[in-house]
Structure 1
């Protein structure tokens, strides 16, 4: 007899663990007791090792978007079992392993709690994020990074700006679990844009210490990102002035500022350390 998709809350706390994959990806492992849910498993072997080492039973796999480094391990991890794989309906044709198709506003029951689906097009057209309001957790794939945002492979600047604005409106103490360890390079760019930001300098020092110790820089917090992430700060006069100066032309609205900022980041190379 199969287990129901929704089960009663457990007294065990919900834990989140980072599983490094490829060169800079994180698969997020959500654990409550001996039960587990994965977010965006791009490859199977390191994830299966983590499950086995912790003695966990995989109950679900959440998917934010169709890129191979987020979905490539799903089939092997499922292995013919009946494991729910909810993900974006708009990208179902590109993710044949999905078992439930999600849209903005849908709710997923898992591990005795709920995740709300937020549509965040931009990086891809069907990209979604999972927000756990009770636990104040956000799994945002490649939309929001600490100090940055995803490249616009399919969406428009207006779409990505709107998506980031939705995420930035979440409670400031929401933990941000993005899918790549890009923080140091993102902060180097943020410093080039807004070098006088004291909070950015302090955060960069903390991140550098964390990475030197071999620890992930994540999760960040929504409040932190509002203070240091230039892609959430395009309405700020200092950001606007820096982008206009770099672009060398008049930019008439916030979407144009955002588009020019993203183009600047796409071509940015940090200065070499002397």
Structure 2
């Protein structure tokens, strides 16, 4: 099988759109629909025909373009079953453990509640790539609009089980502000210091900081480091449960 081709592009104020193309079958899937017209233009520029839409969650900047894009392309729309009645124009509801196909390439569906109660991620294990919506960000994680800290910690813990070299495509360009917060709670982390400097340089050049990797995030992202003794000591939570440490980091980020 040929490798999947990925086209990443900015949408709205700070979203990213993603087109994934299988050159063998000619199929193309779009991850979420923040802006239907931008997505159509990007597909046309690549010479790709959109055949599927895979939603990660119900928020308008992820599923708001479903109806317009489906009307234009007749794409097959996949969305999380836990978000039934909150996402339009869906053909197939999926839940944890399901698989979806792009040509002969299999993507596993991971249920990752926290940011919302219905969020899912799509992981191509053979390609070592994943599309994580608003569950995990470069140096951050999604705000807990609907779920609990325990739910989000459990979701992030599942993503941390993927191989370190897994490439992570997250849905927003938040990394510069995330880095500033991360340094406030974990200032002595050399991996974080180097990562933050890289981010500053990339943004100064107008470059995206997405994608990232699971390995880079495990080393530098405080939201994945709730078990780290140094970070726990800095927070004064040496004996707390991991989910409680995560909750304190999230609380601080919400007020940063």
TM-score (normalised: structure 1)? 0.89
Aligned to 1:271: none
User: Are positions 1:121 and 2:113 aligned together?
Assistant: yes
- Rounded to whole Å, the distance in 1 between the matches of 2:186 and 2:203 is 22
Matches within 5 A, 1:141-180: 141-180=133-172
Deviates more, 1:118-127 or 1:208-217: 208-217
Q: Which has the larger radius of gyration?
A: 1
Matches within 5 A, 1:57-68: 57-68=49-60
Secondary structure of the equivalent of 2:38? Answer: helix
Aligned to 2:15: 25
- Rounded to whole Å, the distance in 1 between the matches of 2:81 and 2:174 is 28
Secondary structure of the equivalent of 1:109? Answer: strand
| Structure 2 unmatched ranges of 5 or more | none
Secondary structure of the equivalent of 1:166? Answer: helix
Aligned to 1:100: 92
Aligned to 1:16: 6
**Does structure 1 conserve the Cα–Cα contact (< 8 Å) formed by 2:21 and 2:29?**
yes
What are the Cα deviations for residues 1-56 of structure 1, in whole angstroms up to 9, with x where unaligned? xxxxxxxx5x4x31112121111100111123353210011111111111111221
**Does structure 1 conserve the Cα–Cα contact (< 8 Å) formed by 2:4 and 2:21?**
yes
**Does structure 2 conserve the Cα–Cα contact (< 8 Å) formed by 1:87 and 1:100?**
yes
Aligned to 1:253: 241
User: Are positions 1:54 and 2:46 aligned together?
Assistant: yes
RMSD: 1.5
**Does structure 1 conserve the Cα–Cα contact (< 8 Å) formed by 2:67 and 2:88?**
no
Instruction: Decide which of 202, 209, 215 is 1:217's aligned counterpart.
Output: 209
Which structure 1 residue ranges, 4+ long, deviate > 3 Å from structure 2?
none
**Does structure 2 conserve the Cα–Cα contact (< 8 Å) formed by 1:37 and 1:61?**
yes
- Rounded to whole Å, the distance in 1 between the matches of 2:115 and 2:122 is 16
Secondary structure of the equivalent of 2:44? Answer: helix
What are the Cα deviations for residues 74-117 of structure 1, in whole angstroms up to 9, with x where unaligned? 11111165421111000021002211010100000113301000
| Structure 1 unmatched ranges of 5 or more | 1-8, 269-274
Distance 1:56 1:157, change over 3 A: same
**Does structure 2 conserve the Cα–Cα contact (< 8 Å) formed by 1:18 and 1:27?**
yes
Distance 1:14 1:216, change over 3 A: same
- Rounded to whole Å, the distance in 2 between the matches of 1:81 and 1:20 is 21
Distance 1:66 1:251, change over 3 A: farther
Instruction: Decide which of 123, 128, 139 is 1:136's aligned counterpart.
Output: 128
TM-score (normalised: structure 2)? 0.95
Offset of 1:241 from its aligned partner? 2.1
- Rounded to whole Å, the distance in 2 between the matches of 1:215 and 1:22 is 16
- Rounded to whole Å, the distance in 2 between the matches of 1:134 and 1:186 is 30
What are the Cα deviations for residues 186-215 of structure 1, in whole angstroms up to 9, with x where unaligned? 111111111111111111122222222222
Aligned to 2:219: 227
